[in-house]
Structure 1
Amino acid sequence: MTAAPPPPPPVLTHDPDRSRDIAHLGPVELYTPVLEQSADFFVRQMGLREVHRDAGSVYLHTWDDYQSWTLRLIRRDRAGVGRTYLRVTGPAALERFSALGTFTESVRGLGRVLCFDDPDGHPTGLYWDVNRYQADESDRPALKNQAAAYPGRGANVRRLDHVNYLTADVPASARFVGEVLGGRCTERILKDDGSPQAVWFNLQTKTYDLVHTEDWTGSSGRLHHLAFATDTREEILRAADVFLDAGTHIETGPHKHAIQQTFFLYVWEPGGNRIELCNAGARLILAPDWETISWSAAERAKGQAWGLKTIETFHTHGTPEVTTPPAH
């Protein structure tokens, strides 16, 4: 019997001396064919606050986001992810990225936005100037270092945590996030041939902000899930009851991922997009020379750290939906 090959050695996938010009994940746009139902889900069940609307979209805010809006729901025929906005660390940093795309000043609550698509076709925008959230009498917090009052309804999600994209070419997407945007690969899944199947990147000290997962259909530009962070695990357990009473489809969880140690719950919002509620506790990546953690396909196949085995739809469902079988 042949012994299994040893796991690959830890890899440093970034230059610690490189300036990190992206500060954090900013607002995200989400497409939905049922705008009002999706908005109701995020307000009543997730605990976001509606702050603005126009003819085709609704702007929502999580209670501790310092920016004027967190999520923009846009009416489209098919679900999926729109533009992901990333805030840079300053005006000079924005100029250093200027060759990537074109500038616009038409995005609500943001100044100049540098718009471009990543290698897989996911729309992206970089910005510096931003309007901060202004609480009114209905949601003014008691603590002046908090953006808004704790909502006390639904899941009470505190902030947007990360985006997990489905990607046709994971290596190309990984090179772009790491080499162009300056992200750091904190963990990854490697296939048997050593190529990456999924990669988790952070932008500063969070465990991860942007994830690229191989799309089994070979399609480009799709979404696996959008994730929101809660303060505690208990709020995720409470949210499960909220979703149950509302008739929301609970796909899987609450369980704990082995990768990144995230306590999670996945649901589908009315438009069909997968939404994660997550809590990674106090985990931060503080080491400037963090070595990427690599997981083999066999290790990944073992499933979660604890909890039930991942169900099949977690690997097959993405938005917009694609019915084309995988290419052979």
Structure 2
Amino acid sequence: MTEPCFDIAHLAHIELFTDQPDKSLDFFVNVYGLTESGRDGDSVYLRGWDDYEFHSLKLTAGKTTGVGHIAYRTTSEAALQRRVAAIEALGAGIGWTDGDLGHGRAYRFRDPDNHVFEIYYDTRRYEPPASEAPALKNLAQRFHGRGAAVRRIDHVNLLASDVKAIRDFIPKALGSRVTEQIVFGEDDVMGCWFTVNNKTYDLAYTGDHTGAQGRFHHVTYAVDSREEVLRAADIFLENRVYIETGPHKHAVQGTFFLYVYEPAGNRVEVANAGARLILAPDWQPVTWNEDERRKGQAWGLKTIESFHTYGTPPVVEH
């Protein structure tokens, strides 16, 4: 057995592009319930009320939608250097950046599907203003109760034209473990879920049936209970936000979920991931076959077809 690698501490943030920046910002702050922590150029930095870092979402205005980059924080400066060496040995490196408002220098690389990742160690912790200071000093910010009031970033789901290549690459680059996967036939990998710590997953990939590369499926923020997911559904309804699917319960990973589109068209999720943790150091991936996946969700309505076909940016058909 390969010894688990814990050079990476956790999923840190994601950058999303929007071609409707004002509407997207209003959604993320007033409906989804994130807090603005800073601005720089065309980007607004946002966070869940108990994200300890300066930001967990970088919302950048542009001409399109989709993902700019996905960021992970390492466990130390030495761990950062070890991961950089591993990534460069894979031939996937882009190089160093100076960082941004939320963290220090970062090393960027590409996965086999052309998504951009960055890893860093030096970070900026969120310092709430007096109006947002929590009563308990072990929280990052008070619970504000605004919109869905999501607590923290939980995971990112990306689309890939070759999920099997991703399954091989991510553990080598980040030291991640595969916790669950969907495999049809002998070795047709349709989906794969990864973790860098004891969470069930922080990153997932599913097949992009368009054959395009570098596309985005969704980002998920966590709440503490299923009741909060149901409350979020009412909040989305009152704000005329289109609910794509849910609330239901996934069979894979067992997440209680609700998916919507923010105004520019990027898919976002509110979820209660439950109490499952991967504590076994010798965890073996749970594999779901085609017959098992045909049964759909653990319970709830059949997943809408767009969940399997829609991603951002849109694919232009010629």
Matched, 1:91 2:64: no
Partner SS for 2:237: helix
1:152 aligns with 145
TM (normalized to structure 1)?
A: 0.92
Paired position in structure 2 for 1:165 = 158
Given the alignment, which residue of 76, 80, 84 partners 2:62?
A: 76
Map residues 129-144 of structure 1 onto 2, 5 A cutoff. 129-144=122-137
* Structure-2-length-normalised TM-score: 0.95
Q: CA RMSD in A?
A: 1.2
- Determine if the alignment matches structure 1 residue 184 to structure 2 residue 170: no
What amino acid sits opposite 2:130 in the alignment? Answer: E
The 5-angstrom pairing of residues 209-224 of structure 1 reads 209-224=202-217
Q: Deviations over 1:244-264 (max 9, x none)?
A: 011101000000000000000
* 8 A contact 1:167–1:214 mirrored in 2: yes
**Deviations 1:225-251 (Å, cap 9, x if unpaired)?**
111101111111001010001110100
Task: For 1:92 and 1:54, locate their aligned partners in 2 and report how far apart those are by CA, in whole Å.
Answer: 29
Q: How far is 1:286 from its partner?
A: 0.5
Distance (Å, rounded) in 1 between the aligned partners of 2:241 and 2:131: 28
Q: Is the 8 A contact 1:167 1:221 kept in 2?
A: yes
1:41 to 22, 27, 33: 27
**Alpha-carbon distance between aligned partners in 2 of 1:160 and 1:180, rounded to the nearest angstrom:** 21
Q: What CA distance in whole angstroms lies between the structure 2 residues aligned with 1:181 and 1:285?
A: 17
1:9 is matched with none
Alpha-carbon contact 1:266-1:277 (below 8 Å) kept: yes
**Deviation per residue, 1:183-220 (Å, 9 max, x gap):** 11000000124221100001110000111111000110
What secondary structure does 2:130 align onto? Answer: coil
Q: Quote the residue 2:249 is aligned against.
A: 256
Task: Give the letter for the 1:42 counterpart.
Answer: F
1:275-314 paired onto structure 2 within 5 Å: 275-314=268-307
How far is 1:18 from its partner?
Answer: 4.0
Quote the sequence identity (%). Answer: 52
> What SS is found at the alignment partner of 2:213?
coil
CA distance in structure 2 between the partners assigned to 1:228 and 1:146 by the alignment: 17
Aligned length: 311
CA change 1:58–1:134 in 2 (3 A) is same
Q: Is the 8 A contact 2:69 2:117 kept in 1?
A: yes
* CA–CA distance in structure 2, aligned partners of residues 159 and 18 of structure 1: 25
Structure 2 distance, partners of 1:153, 1:175, is: 41
Residue 271 (structure 1) aligned with residue 264 (structure 2): yes
